[in-house]
Amino acid sequence: MSDVIPSPNYGDRNKGLAPDMIVLHYTGMPDAEGAIARLCSDGTDVSAHYIVLEDGRIVQTVPESKRAWHAGSSFWAGEDDVNSCSIGIEIINRGHDWGYPDYPARQIAAVTALCRGILLRRDMPTHRVLGHSDVAPSRKKDPGEKFPWHLLASSGVGHWVHPAPIVSGEGLRTGADGDQVKALQQALARYGYGIEVTGVYDVPTTEVVTAFQRHFRPERVDGVADLSTLETLEALLVSLPRSETARTG
């Protein structure tokens, strides 16, 4: 069961889209009260469908049938109106600007249960549970490298492979160019990230690689596409449903 605190910040889903993904956020504010007030106050132009508190309580603020304003300018797997095709979940956590504490176990259990319920009720693909940083890598860091994606995946929420081990080696980094960079960009785009295939390891490529690492290889988040990053990305692509790789390819 969820408590309900209605937010005035929502609209209709565009183009008749129904939600087929979940986007997870952290609130990134000093306290829960301020975060809830911001998400539920007229004029702030931000909202989410659910807020998950540190003690595991869940607050619903926007009906799932409506378009909440949580993702902003974003992109995933060909869709640039992520708000219209997603359900947004805000997780109370101060975030990188306010000390970035660990997520409590009760909170993660509640997020997992909430996501499982949504996936089952709406028959969503389980791998389409993403972070805000995945759909907006140039702007966002949340829910960040401390978020335990592996625990959610062990309960059937999201997509995960065990990250390839980090080994010594240079890797691809800002300023590199050539076929290896092009292949990396193509692979990230096939997975769903919004990235232009230029063959140049530019700032946007670094931002996307950083977002990928926050989610899938959190042990080292540096924007360098080392062998661990490349092998983890390849393993994720191999384990995606064939229809999904065909759709994003």
Q: Where are the domains of the chain?
A: 3-153, 179-248
pLDDT for 18 = 93
Give the architecture (CATH level 2) of 179-248.
Orthogonal Bundle (1.10)
Question: H helices within 92-226, ranges in order?
Answer: 105-122, 132-135, 149-153, 179-191, 203-216
Alpha carbon distances (Å) from 14 to 79, 83, 86, 115, 129: 12, 9, 11, 23, 20
At residue 170, the pLDDT reads: 87
pLDDT of residue 246: 40
Q: Choose the catalytic residue: 33, 54, 79, 90.
A: 90
- Is the pLDDT score of 113 beyond 70? yes
DSSP character for 62?
A: S
More confident residue, 182 or 243: 182
What pLDDT was estimated at residue 169? Answer: 85
The fold of the 3-153 domain, in CATH, is Lysozyme-like (3.40.80)
Q: Is the pLDDT of residue 186 over 90?
A: yes
Tell me what the pLDDT averaged over the chain comes to.
95
Would you say residue 200 has pLDDT above 70?
A: yes
Q: What single DSSP character describes residue 194?
A: -
Burial class (CB in 10 A: 0-12, 13-18, 19+), 197: middle
The per-residue pLDDT for 61 is: 98
Active site residue 33: no
Nearest-5° Cα angle at 224, 93 to 138: 50
Q: Could you read off the pLDDT of 126-144 as tens digits, one per residue?
A: 999 999 999 999 999 999 9
What is the pLDDT, as a whole number, of residue 1? 55
Return d(Cα 58, Cα 5) in angstroms, integer.
10
What is the value of pTM for the model shown? Answer: 0.96
Percentage of the chain lying above the pLDDT 90 cut: 94
Give the pLDDT mean for 222-237: 98
**Cα(141)–Cα(24) distance, rounded to whole angstroms?**
11
Strand partners, 51: 59, 90
pLDDT at 249 over 60: no
Residue 242, pLDDT > 80, answer: no
Contact present, 196 and 182 (Cβ < 8 Å): no
Assess whether pLDDT exceeds 90 at residue 160.
Answer: yes
Using CA atoms, how far apart are residues 136 and 52, in angstroms rounded to an integer?
21
pLDDT one-digit tens code per residue, 51-104: 999 999 999 999 999 999 999 999 999 999 999 999 999 999 999 999 999 999
